[in-house]
Structure formats: structure tokens, C-alpha cells
Amino acid sequence: MRKIINYYLQELSYEGTNLADETDLFPTEGGTAAIVYAFHSLAENHLLKKGDKIAINEPIFTPYLRIPELKDYQLVEVDLHSYEKNNWEIEPKEIEKLSDPSIKALMVVNPTNPTSKEFDKNALDAIRKAVKKNPDLMIISDEVYGAFVPHFKSIYSVVPYNTMLVYSYSKLYGCTGWRLGIIGLNKKNVFDDNISKLTEAEKAQLHKRYSSVVLDPDKMKFIDRLCADSRSIGLYHTAGLSTPQQIMEALFSMTHLLTSTNGGSDDPYIDIARKLVTDRYDQLHDAMKAPKDETDTNSHYYSLIDIYRLAENQYGKDFRNYLANNFQQVDFLLKLAEKNGVVLVDGVGFGAKPGELRVSQANLPTNDYALIGKQVLELLKEYHEEYEKESK
């Protein structure tokens, strides 16, 4: 199953590189568990210590901002920010911050969360350059949305030595409840090499930690330590996914390998999935007359809708200021839910700015997205009518 999954990832994520036979895998209970295990083992193996700097690309799934702040880790966060004015693409000058050797790790979602934008060539080139200046940098790259971008190029495929790949089948195959995730590490990786550079006292402590489950703890790979740590060492023999979950990962992978053509770039199921989210994206944005991002790096899986910008486009700047100054963003969300049963997510919860709503194009029937756009505008109209009454 490891070979099957690796060749599946080879076609979807390792674009332009042959890494299938050089990658070790650890199946996990979804991408969520993979991230939790990663932080836990990095701390237990002295690779991340309290006070260390960790860079995080933002906006991002909020728990990724919270984990480093926990008492367990107490890491110092360095923000690599992307902005709407740049179509949410992170600029190389932000990535240049990683050249600082005091930054020990990078936590990144690619395509990004919540905007589902792939790191473009300029960003990937900047990562490659930064790693040359900071060769001990450890990268944890969550790439669950990659398949929705044609010709997606993984950070792992660019700097495999430095990168821990996190993948999940949940988004592409609509199977979130199955909890099907993967951690991938190159057989030659910075995590193992950084362990070899620890102090003798730290190595002795780790020797004792893992000695109950392996004969030679000093030679234990980091990916195997992840697996052991996931079950508090003592239950290492029960770690990992259940057999049905592992088989399901292999079946999804084989479906792609058996049906794809043109070197894996054409898969009828993936083509349909991409078209589905793009059609919903178009319907939503067309209904609201909101600007679209038509670049090749946009997966169209999520939309960030700026309510204040919509308000200004519809009714002018004075109304925008009125809306921003007199109402909390949650007021708009609650009224939308109460009036129409439309439940959208506050973008602030994902690190976006106030006034931005996050819409997933994966959850509802296609025709609902035009309806959502229409109802958002209708609610804005009601706010505007209140504004006109107060202005008289």
C-alpha cells in the first residue's frame, strides 16, 4: 500500500520529480492528526524548543496559530502574510524571512487556507533560495487541496530534504469522516539530521525514551518516532490507521492510477471535481457581482467575500463606512442565517480581516451558490435601507 500511495502522490504532488521510491509514509487519522503528531514529536525530540521561532503563512486555519502558543510549546510565531491586493499570493519578500537561521520551522498550508491559492513559481523559488541560506529549516506542508489545482507543485517536490508532507484524501474524495491522512518524509531528511546534531545529554534522554520499543533507539528514524509518539511510546504496536482505513487510502489511490492518462495529469474523477467547485465559484461570484480570481494557482475550493467592498460597490463609500462602524461582522452573519438559513463562516476565524466571509464550494448543491450570492445582496440592501432612514 505504501508503494501504491507513493505513486498516487507522485502524480498529484511530486510534479516533475521522482520521489515515489524515496519517500517513507505514516498513515494518520486525517491531516489534523498529522499536524498534532508533528508538533508533538518535534518538541519531544528537541527539534523545537520553547522560545524557538516558527514561521506561519497567513491567513491560515486558526488552530495552526494556536498550537505554537500552547504551554506545551511556547513558540514564537513569525508571520508570512499574503494580501487580497495580491490575489492572496504570498510575495517572495515575505518568504525571504525564512533565510534567518533563528527561524527553526515553517508551518504552511499549500494551496493556502482559507483562500485555496497555490504557491506560485516565484514563491517556490523563494523557498528554495531561503533553504539554501537556512539549510536546517524544517517545513511542515499541509497540501490537502493540491489536487484541485491542475499541475500542482508540492513544496515537498521542491525541497524534499527539508519538508514533511501532510496529505489527506478527505477533500478530494469527500470522505472527511473516514479520517484518511498521510505524513510523508524523504528517506534523507533534515529532521533525522537535526536529531543527529543534538547534545549528548539530549541524545541520551531520547535513547531512554524509545529504548522500550526498539533495539537501537539512536538509529530510529524520525518518521518512526512520530508513529511511536502518537501512541505514547508504550502502545507503539497499536499505532497508525486501522486496516479498513489503510485499504481505503489504497483504493482511492488505485482509482486514480488505473483511470488517469497522460502521465497522471488527466483523471476523469478529478476533472469533474475541479469543474464542480469552479462552477459553484462562478455562480457565487456572478450572483454577487464580486471580482473573480481566474489565475491558474486558484483551486476555487474557497471564496473570501469582502462584505465591505461589496457594500461600497453597490451603494458607495459612505455606506461602507456606516456598515463597518455600526455593526459587528457577526451581526451580518446572524441576520443572513436567521433570514434565509444561509450559514457562512467568519473569515476572521481563519486569520482574514474583519468583513470577510468564507464560503466553501464543496458543501452545497451547485444551484445554491447563486442563491447565496443573491441573498447576500438582498441583506445588504436591507442594511442600506436602514442607513437611508437614519440619514434623513
Which pLDDT tens digit goes with each residue over 311-343? 999 999 999 999 988 887 788 888 888 887 888
Residues 94 and 106 sit within 8 Å (Cβ to Cβ)? no
Element (H, E) at 356: strand 356-360
CA dist., res. 230 & res. 234, Å (int): 10
93 pLDDT higher than 80: yes
CA dist., res. 372 & res. 380, Å (int): 12
DSSP state of 352: P
Task: List Cβ neighbours of 230 (8 Å cut-off, separation of 6 or more).
Answer: 28, 33, 37, 40, 239, 240
SS3 state of residue 316: coil
Q: What is the pTM of this model?
A: 0.91
CA dist., res. 22 & res. 307, Å (int): 47
Residues 220 and 214 sit within 8 Å (Cβ to Cβ)? yes
pLDDT digits 0-9 by tens, 243-267: 999 999 999 999 999 998 876 678 9
Phi-psi region of 167 (alpha: psi -120 to 50; beta: other; left: phi over 0): beta
* Residues linked to residue 138 through DSSP beta bridges, in sequence order: 105
pLDDT digits 0-9 by tens, 346-366: 777 676 777 888 899 998 899
Query: Which has more confidence, 115 or 156?
Result: 156
Q: What is the mean pLDDT of residues 133-140?
A: 97
Quote the pLDDT of residue 351: 67
Quote the pLDDT of residue 56: 92
150 pLDDT higher than 90: no
pLDDT cut 90: percent of the chain above it: 68
Element (H, E) at 25: strand 23-29
pLDDT digits 0-9 by tens, 33-70: 999 999 999 999 999 999 999 999 887 877 787 888 88
Task: List Cβ neighbours of 390 (8 Å cut-off, separation of 6 or more).
Answer: none
Q: What is the mean pLDDT of residues 146-175?
A: 94
pLDDT digits 0-9 by tens, 277-313: 999 999 999 999 888 988 888 999 999 888 899 999 9
pLDDT cut 70: percent of the chain above it: 99
Amino acid occupying residue 16? G
The structural domains of the chain, ordered by start, are: 2-258 (3.40.640.10), 268-391 (3.90.1150.10)
Quote the pLDDT of residue 145: 92
